[in-house]
Structure 1
Amino acid sequence: MKKKSPSHFDKFTKRKSNAAIKEQFKQEKRKVKKEREEYFDKKKAEARALNKRTPTGPRTPDTESKQSPSSSRQSPVHTRPVVTEQMPLNKFIAHSGLSGRREAAEIVKKGLVKVNNEVVTEPGHKVTATDEIKVNGKKIFLAKNLVYILLNKPKDYITTTDDPQNRKTVLDIIGRATKERVYPVGRLDRNTSGLLLLTNDGELAQKLTHPKNEIKKVYAVTLNKPLEKKDFEQILQGVVLEDGLASVDVLAYADMKDKTQIGVEIHSGRNRIVRRIFEHLGYDVRNLDRVIFAGLTKKNIERGKWRFLTEKEVRDLKHFSKGK
C-alpha cells in the first residue's frame, strides 16, 4: 500500500500528540534557560570590564522596572549604555530614533546631514556622541531609553512617521505612549492590518528587516474566490513577478470548507509581496492581516490597540535565530 505523502496543510490543520507537545515544551524551556544564562553571563562580563576601566564611585541600586509592560500603559525603561566610541554616521542616526539604519544611509547620501556644520554624504563616516549632528537642520541625539511598542494596526493607516497629504499614520494611534521618537520596523500597506513593531532601537530594527535574517511573518488572507489546486501548487513552487521569483515558506487553507481563507508564512520583505503573488494569478485580496511577526502574536491586542513588549520579548528578539 502506497504511503500517503505529507500534506501542505499539516502545519495548520493537524495537532501534535500530547507527548510530542510536552517534549517540545521541555526543549523550549531548556533552550530559553540556556539563552538566558548566556545573556546574563555576557552582561556580567561587560560589567566586570566596565568596572576595571572605571573603578571609582559607589554602586547604584538596580532601578530597572520589573513590571510587565503588557499590564501597564507606562513605558518600560530599557536604558542604552552611554556610547563614547566611534560609530558609523548612519548607525548614530538610527540610534537617535529617527529611522532604521538603511533609511539613515539614504538620508546621508542625499546630503541632508551635517556633522559639526559640515555636510557629510558617506554613511560610514565615523562620529561620536560628542559630535554635533543635524538632519535637515535639526540637531539629533542618541536615544537614552529604548522603547518597543507592538501595535495591531487597523486598515486605513499608513506606516510612516508623518505624511505630506495629512493622512492618518500609525503614530496617530500610539499617541502619547512615549516621549521618545519611535518609527515602524518594516511596513504594512495602508489597507493591510495586523502586527507592527515600533521602536527607537536602530540596531534591532536593522536585524529584523535585513533579508539575510529571514524573519518569518504569517498572514491571514481572504480572497475574492476559492484558491484552486493548480494555483496553490504554483505558489508553493514559486511565482515569477516583475522583480524576480517570489516564494512562500508555508501555504495552507485556513478553513478547508472555505478555500478563500488562506494562511501564508513568508520571510520575504519585498513590497506588497503577498498581494502581488495572488494578484499575479488572477485573485483579488479582499483582506490581508499579519497575525505573527518574528514570533510575536496578536494575543490580547485588539484591533487599533497596542502594548509595550515585555523584557523577555525584547531579549528573545535580540537573540533570535535565523528564520525565526
Structure 2
Amino acid sequence: MQKHFVKNASISLIRLNKFISNAGVCSRREADKLIVAGHITVNGKVMSTTGSKIPVNAIVLYKGVRLSAERFRYVLLNKPKGYVTTFKDPEGRKTVLDLIGKKYCHERVYPVGRLDYNTTGLLLLTNDGLLAQRLSHPTSGITKLYHVVLNKAISTEHFKNIQDGLLLEDGIAQVDNLAIVDQDPCQIGISIHMGKNRIIRRIFEHLGYGVNKLDRVGYAHLTKKNIARGQWIFLKDQDILRLKSIVKNVPV
C-alpha cells in the first residue's frame, strides 16, 4: 500500500501529481515524470516515487521554484506615475499592490519585472511563480513596446545609432524596432525584448537626451486598450494560454 507523506488526518491531502498539475506546470502524467526524475521536493525532501499524497499546505518546489495550490491570478495593470513595483518600499512610497487591493483579488500577486517609479504603462502581476520566472528569463523573448517623449528632437544620426545597437557599460543595447511617432522627432516608439535595468532611459541618456515621459504600451501581445491609468483587469483565459505558449520552452 502506498505510504502517505504525512498521516495527520486533520490536514487535507492531495496527490502530488495533481498538486503539480493544478499549479499549471503540466499534466498529471507529465508530473509523474518530473517526480521520477527527482525535480520535485516537498518540504525539503526530494520526491522520486509516484502516487504520493501530500498536505495541501506543503512547500512544493519544482527546480527551486515554489508551486502554489491556490487559484492562480493574472492581473494586467496600467501603472501611473508615483508607484514602485516592489512588494514593500523602505521609503514608504506607494506600491502597485496598493492599486490592486483585496476586494476583488484576494490572492497575493507579485509584479513580473519592474517599471521605474516615474514610468507608466503595462505591468503584469501574478501568483504563478513558474510563469513569472519564465517571462523574466533573459531567453523569454518577450517584446515590450514603449512610447518615449524626449526633451529635444532626436537627430538622424542618433536614431540610426540606436537602430544599429548602442554599446553601454554593460554591453550592447539592441532594440527590435524604432519609429518616430506622429511625425514628431521628440516622440519615439521603441520595441525591445532586453530586460536590463532602466534600459530605455539609459539608451537615450547615453546620447544626451532627457526622457520626459516613458510609457509601456505593449507587453507581448497585450495592450492598454480599455484599461485606464491606475486601473487593472484580470487576463482572459486565451491571453494566459498565449503567454504560456510563448515561454513554454524557456528553462527554469
TM-score by length of 1: 0.59
1:315 and 2:241 equivalent?
Answer: yes
The answer for unaligned runs of 5 or more in structure 1 is 1-52, 55-77, 93-114, 117-124, 135-139
Structure 2 counterpart of 1:146, one-letter code: F
Give the conservation status (yes or no) of the 8 Å contact 1:246–1:273: yes
Give the conservation status (yes or no) of the 8 Å contact 2:80–2:119: yes
Structure 2 counterpart of 1:307, one-letter code: I
CA distance in structure 2 between the partners assigned to 1:215 and 1:298 by the alignment: 16
Aligned to 1:30: none
Structure 2 counterpart of 1:251, one-letter code: L
CA distance in structure 2 between the partners assigned to 1:190 and 1:311 by the alignment: 30
1:283 and 2:227 equivalent?
Answer: no
Aligned to 2:161: 234
Aligned to 1:178: 105
- How far the C-alpha of 1:133 sits from its partner, in A, is 4.7
Aligned to 2:121: 194
- How far the C-alpha of 1:80 sits from its partner, in A, is 3.5
Q: Which residue, out of 132, 143, 164, partners 1:205?
A: 132
- How far the C-alpha of 1:191 sits from its partner, in A, is 0.7
Give the conservation status (yes or no) of the 8 Å contact 1:222–1:286: yes
Summarize the Cα distance change of 1:313–1:246 in structure 2 as closer, same or farther, 3 Å threshold: same
Aligned to 1:253: 180
1:1-324 map, 5 Å: 80=23, 85=35, 87=39, 115=43, 126=46, 130=55, 133=59, 142-176=68-102, 177-256=104-183, 258-320=184-246
Which 4+ runs in 1 deviate beyond 2 A?
Answer: 78-89, 125-134, 140-144
State the percentage of identical aligned residues.
52
CA distance in structure 1 between the partners assigned to 2:187 and 2:46 by the alignment: 50
- How far the C-alpha of 1:208 sits from its partner, in A, is 1.2
Equivalent position SS for 2:172: strand
Equivalent position SS for 1:213: coil
Give the conservation status (yes or no) of the 8 Å contact 2:78–2:121: yes
Give the conservation status (yes or no) of the 8 Å contact 2:165–2:173: yes
1:59-78 CA-to-partner distances (Å, cap 9, x unmatched) read xxxxxxxxxxxxxxxxxxx9
Structure 1 counterpart of 2:216, one-letter code: R
CA distance in structure 1 between the partners assigned to 2:70 and 2:39 by the alignment: 16
Give the conservation status (yes or no) of the 8 Å contact 1:143–1:200: no
Summarize the Cα distance change of 1:321–1:148 in structure 2 as closer, same or farther, 3 Å threshold: closer
Give the conservation status (yes or no) of the 8 Å contact 2:135–2:247: no
Structure 1 counterpart of 2:185, one-letter code: K
- How far the C-alpha of 1:144 sits from its partner, in A, is 2.2
Q: Give the structure with the larger helix fraction.
A: 1
Give RMSD over aligned pairs: 2.9
CA distance in structure 2 between the partners assigned to 1:180 and 1:165 by the alignment: 25
Give the conservation status (yes or no) of the 8 Å contact 2:84–2:95: yes
Structure 2 counterpart of 1:301, one-letter code: I
Structure 1 counterpart of 2:230, one-letter code: G
- How far the C-alpha of 1:141 sits from its partner, in A, is 7.7
1:84-118 CA-to-partner distances (Å, cap 9, x unmatched) read 846456xx8xxxxxxxxxxxxxxxxxxxxxx56xx
CA distance in structure 1 between the partners assigned to 2:247 and 2:182 by the alignment: 30
Q: Give the structure with the larger strand fraction.
A: 2
Equivalent position SS for 2:130: helix
1:281-305 CA-to-partner distances (Å, cap 9, x unmatched) read 0000000000000110000000000
Give the conservation status (yes or no) of the 8 Å contact 2:134–2:247: no
The answer for unaligned runs of 5 or more in structure 2 is 1-16, 61-65
- How far the C-alpha of 1:147 sits from its partner, in A, is 0.4
Structure 1 counterpart of 2:176, one-letter code: D
Summarize the Cα distance change of 1:126–1:155 in structure 2 as closer, same or farther, 3 Å threshold: farther
CA distance in structure 2 between the partners assigned to 1:286 and 1:172 by the alignment: 25
Aligned to 2:9: none
